[in-house]
Structure 1
Amino acid sequence: MVTDDSRLQHGIDGHLIRGGTSKGFFTSSDAIPTEPDARDAFVLELFGSPDPLQVDGLGGSHTHTSKLMLVDRSERDGVDLTYEYAQVGIEHATVDWDGNCGNLASAVGVYGILEGLVEPTEPTTTVRIHSVNTDSTLEQAMPVVDGEPTPYGDCRIDGVPGSGARIPTRYLHPGGGMLGATLPTGNAVDELSVDGETYRVSVVDATNVTVFLEASDLGLDGTESPATLEAREGLLERLERIRGAACVELGLVDEPAAASEARPTMPFIAVVAPPQGYETTVGGSVAAADVDVVARMVSTGRPHHAYATTGAMCLAAATRVPETIPATVARGTGDAVRIGHPKGTIRIGVERGDGETIASVSIDRTARLLMSGTAYARDPDRL
């Protein structure tokens, strides 16, 4: 809801909520402008972008803390809520509405109950959710105590201190939600020519789109920390050029260099490697026996501090698609995939469908309301 308690700034009511290893501002779609250019200008002002610190807005200076979720009551039969997600640029004036965030999606039910869009039932409220970005359906089980989403529980996820209530979320029929096919190029492996070098990649669309490379093809072992990846001279720029070439192959841009602005978020790009042990960035360790695949992901040009949830779901699904690079390096054929990332591990459930299709992917996350109130943005036309 838009508020009128300031004549000089636009105020919108909403909630700051952590979902999984991300946090973002949740509000309704009617709280911001609808015309695309005006909408993006308002969102950038709200988050304080472009600025590496986002000191004059809601953004938290990292990709996983610069996110917006617009959530409304759904008009679809059998669906309770609908949401649209935006990744807000930090150093660049971009707002990307093409991707998805599985971490924040785990908190959509929290917002729906807080706003009275979903009738709470105890101990668990089942919420069916439609993602505008991927035109897909999610099923979520929200733990409820005294009519509110409870923040208490014994579920722990790597990348978030402490524990919280377990929120299981299933993504139904995730293949092709963004580009029309699980293998949008039609191939399990493609070859891309970049700077005179040829790179083997697998492009997979399942809850989100990711370009996968084998770590060894870049001289990596797959267990590097984000700081190590950033320090490797020219590596992130090379990965962005490979991602740009993939965007051209997918018909998303005309020139590879255009991808960083026209398609900054989707697709992700990630390197994968066979199971192996390594030290985490939070002082722990991961044993080779505890993971089925090791991966490092880059989003908007920066290594992810852990691993984006929709990216992890895409990777898990990709390990079940024959002949892809993830399927080649991963171990196991069961109903779950354990992914090793910089801060630890993440477990993704995978349900196979008929033939080579994926019926669903699922994950357990936690979520917590951090703040409720009115956020303010100046009028972009007056700046």
Structure 2
Amino acid sequence: MVDQSIQGSVRGTLIRGGTSRGLYVTPEQLPPAGELRDEILIELFGTPDPLQIDGIGGGNSHTSKVMIVDEADRPDADIEYTFGQVGIDNATVDWSGNCGNLTSGIGVFAAATGLVDARDPETELVLYNTNTDTYIDQVVPIADGEPAVHGEYHVDGIPGTGARIDSYFRDPGGSVTGRTLPTGAARETLSVAGEDYTVSIVDIANPNVFLRARDLGLEGTELPDTLNDPDLLDRLELLRGAACERLGLVDDRRDAVDDCPAIPQIAVVSEPQSFGTASGERVNDDDLDITSRIVTTQTPHHSYATTGAMCLAAATQLDGTIPAEFARDAGGPNVVIGHPQGTITIGVEGSTRDGGTTVDRVRVGRTARLLFDGHVYYRNSTV
């Protein structure tokens, strides 16, 4: 047995949700919100270390995440959850935003742990995200009383197929800042390193900064290995920091990497383009509405952050934004985004290209699967 005076433990479940993977726990497994809780999570994930070799993190932003899940303490929801983005190179945990990919695993965790009654063939849940004060309607496929894992739905970036989980994010505008267009403008200028960049800052599901790929000398179809250039990432972080400063999230843009590392996300966009994916497949421009690459916690995403995709999809239908400048003028309910692993389709309800900034719901289909359940250990700092 492990000597609990030397190492403490947390009972949790590792779940792959969409193109992310994270640790799901119930609240009693961790201390209350505060410094001690962050210290334990940083230790559990093996941060700071680019490999996170001494913890359960995978050395990527999409595998260094935690969800704290419980029965909802409110009559209008079944489950409430809190998302934490654990740093990799920096010993931080950012609680300011939400994760769309891991949201797809919330119903799976709730059904598997008995937080809700799982009913075949599907269970409908109302989720409440404490980070953004928003509600999500979720449909979880159930087989023989357990979360289904077999199905025909494919998510680009995940091998094979699985059971489709649909999540509908209600009234997602102003998730963190309180406004869909936080500064009141569809586009504006940020100045960094003596250069001016035109950007759109949009807050739908999570705040995002969008800029033209060509303004950074990019084609817009680059893969993560190419984007993983220190000079480029430094410039993007300077831009993101300037946006944080503009939004009042930090007083000094240089503090953004430590004080607000996860939001806003930053992405480059371009017109629908044909390109080869990281897995060797081919995406045709005729099948896209827009092409984009996103950077999360200072790392090029291997596919696309789901909250970023929801924000981008809705922004393509908001007059005057940079995404609207490049998007195919489809005007339909679905927006198809090209990313390094293929595509992601987002449903948008309520957004218009006639100057409106109201988004009623955004929808995304994902798959999720339990990978591990048990105790994960951390060293007690007092020893």
Aligned partner (choices 5, 8, 16) of residue 6 of structure 2: 8
Q: CA deviation at 1:353?
A: 5.7
Q: Which residues of 2 match residues 26-175 of structure 1 at below 5 A?
A: 26-175=24-173
Q: Which residues of 2 match residues 224-303 of structure 1 at below 5 A?
A: 224-231=222-229, 234-303=231-300
Match of 2:16 in 1: 18
Match of 2:198 in 1: 200
Partner SS for 1:377: strand
Q: CA deviation at 1:6?
A: 3.4
Match of 2:375 in 1: 374
Partner SS for 1:345: strand
Question: Which 4+ runs in 1 deviate beyond 2 A?
Answer: 3-8, 353-356
Distance 2:382 2:281 in 1: 49
Distance 1:40 1:347 in 2: 34
Q: CA deviation at 1:7?
A: 4.0
**Deviations 1:141-200 (CA, angstroms, capped at 9, x unpaired):** 110011100111010010000110000110001000110000001100011111111110
Q: Please tell me the residue identity of whatever aligns with 2:269.
A: V
**Deviations 1:354-377 (CA, angstroms, capped at 9, x unpaired):** 943011000100000001111111
Distance 2:357 2:248 in 1: 25
Distance 2:219 2:358 in 1: 30
Distance 1:109 1:57 in 2: 26
Q: Please tell me the residue identity of whatever aligns with 2:376.
A: A
Q: TM-score, normalised by structure 2?
A: 0.97
Distance 1:291 1:83 in 2: 33
Q: CA deviation at 1:54?
A: 1.1
Q: Please tell me the residue identity of whatever aligns with 1:276.
A: Q
Structure 1 spans left out of the alignment, 5+ residues: none
Please tell me whether the aligned partners of residues 270 and 297 of structure 1 are also in contact (alpha carbons under 8 angstroms). Answer: yes
Please tell me whether the aligned partners of residues 318 and 351 of structure 2 are also in contact (alpha carbons under 8 angstroms). Answer: no
Match of 2:366 in 1: 365
Q: CA deviation at 1:301?
A: 1.0
Distance 1:381 1:337 in 2: 51
Q: Please tell me the residue identity of whatever aligns with 1:371.
A: F
Please tell me whether the aligned partners of residues 5 and 11 of structure 1 are also in contact (alpha carbons under 8 angstroms). Answer: no
**Deviations 1:233-287 (CA, angstroms, capped at 9, x unpaired):** 6111111101111111111111111111111110000000011101111000110
Distance 2:351 2:195 in 1: 37
Please tell me whether the aligned partners of residues 335 and 350 of structure 1 are also in contact (alpha carbons under 8 angstroms). Answer: yes
Distance 1:186 1:214 in 2: 20
Q: Which residues of 2 match residues 180-195 of structure 1 at below 5 A?
A: 180-195=178-193
How many residues get paired? 379
Partner SS for 2:382: helix
Q: TM-score, normalised by structure 1?
A: 0.97
Distance 2:88 2:337 in 1: 28
Q: CA deviation at 1:5?
A: 7.7
Distance 1:87 1:380 in 2: 22
Q: CA deviation at 1:380?
A: 2.4
Please tell me whether the aligned partners of residues 140 and 170 of structure 1 are also in contact (alpha carbons under 8 angstroms). Answer: yes
Distance 2:176 2:366 in 1: 23
- The verdict on how the C-alpha distance between 1:356 and 1:245 changes in structure 2, with shifts beyond 3 A counting, is closer
- The verdict on how the C-alpha distance between 1:294 and 1:91 changes in structure 2, with shifts beyond 3 A counting, is same
Distance 2:28 2:266 in 1: 33
Q: CA deviation at 1:8?
A: 2.6
Please tell me whether the aligned partners of residues 42 and 380 of structure 1 are also in contact (alpha carbons under 8 angstroms). Answer: no
Q: Please tell me the residue identity of whatever aligns with 1:330.
A: A
Q: CA deviation at 1:205?
A: 0.4
Whether 1:312 and 2:313 are equivalent positions in the alignment is: no
Distance 1:4 1:110 in 2: 30
Q: CA deviation at 1:381?
A: 3.1
Please tell me whether the aligned partners of residues 4 and 11 of structure 1 are also in contact (alpha carbons under 8 angstroms). Answer: no
Distance 2:108 2:200 in 1: 35
Partner SS for 1:338: strand
Partner SS for 1:180: coil
**Deviations 1:54-88 (CA, angstroms, capped at 9, x unpaired):** 11111111111111000000011121000000111
Q: CA deviation at 1:300?
A: 1.1
Q: CA deviation at 1:4?
A: 9.3
Q: Please tell me the residue identity of whatever aligns with 1:379.
A: N
Distance 2:214 2:33 in 1: 45
Distance 1:353 1:248 in 2: 27
Partner SS for 1:305: coil
Please tell me whether the aligned partners of residues 60 and 299 of structure 2 are also in contact (alpha carbons under 8 angstroms). Answer: no
- The verdict on how the C-alpha distance between 1:45 and 1:153 changes in structure 2, with shifts beyond 3 A counting, is same
Q: Which moved more, 1:38-47 or 1:6-15?
A: 6-15
Please tell me whether the aligned partners of residues 8 and 377 of structure 2 are also in contact (alpha carbons under 8 angstroms). Answer: yes
The alignment's C-alpha RMSD in Å is: 1.4
Q: CA deviation at 1:112?
A: 0.5
Partner SS for 2:360: strand
